[in-house]
Amino acid sequence: MSSMAHAAAESVSSQQPDRPERSRNAKAQARHRAKRKAYIEQLEQTVTKLQTTLGFTPDQVAALPPPLVKIRELEQENTRLQKENEEMRRLLGESDHRHLSEYRRHSLHSFMTLVAVTATSRNEKWTISTS
């Protein structure tokens, strides 16, 4: 601030006594600081109670990974497991398809054998076409 501006500010402040608004603001600021301090103390007490309840020492709490790091690790594991599940489903689908084809072949063979045995026991001749 220049010396002229400083002198002007002093003359204005000496001409006007402290306004009541200024004391009201100062009181409001003091109340706000006191409330903030009480709130912080309450949070600190809550943290201490939770640490005690969970059985964590402050050193153990400090050693915990930050939440974002843990979230990223879990997201990566989730993605890996989803891919693994997709691969397992694909393999099971292929396996089921092979088993179903084998079952159908086996069932057709069993049916044809049953028909042949039945026809033979009746002395009938059947022609079965497998195309």
Would 29 be classed as within a structural domain? yes
Would 76 be classed as within a structural domain? no
0.75 exceeded by pTM:
no
Would 101 be classed as within a structural domain? no
Q: Which residue has the higher pLDDT, 58 or 11?
A: 58
Q: What secondary structure letter does DSSP report for 55?
A: T
How does pLDDT run across 15-46, given as a tens digit for each residue?
Answer: 555 566 778 899 999 999 999 999 999 999 99
Would 5 be classed as within a structural domain? yes
pLDDT higher than 50, residue 131 = no
CA dihedral 88, 94, 96, 100 (to 10 degrees): 180
How far, in Å, CA of 88 to CA of 83, rounded?
A: 9
Would 15 be classed as within a structural domain? yes
- Residue 65 makes CB contacts below 8 A (sequence gap 6+) with 73
Q: Which domain holds residue 53?
A: 1-63
Q: What number is the average pLDDT over the span 98-125? A: 64
Per the structure, the count of domains in the chain is: 1
Would 46 be classed as within a structural domain? yes
How does pLDDT run across 73-100, given as a tens digit for each residue?
Answer: 999 999 999 999 998 888 888 776 666 6
Would 96 be classed as within a structural domain? no
Would 103 be classed as within a structural domain? no
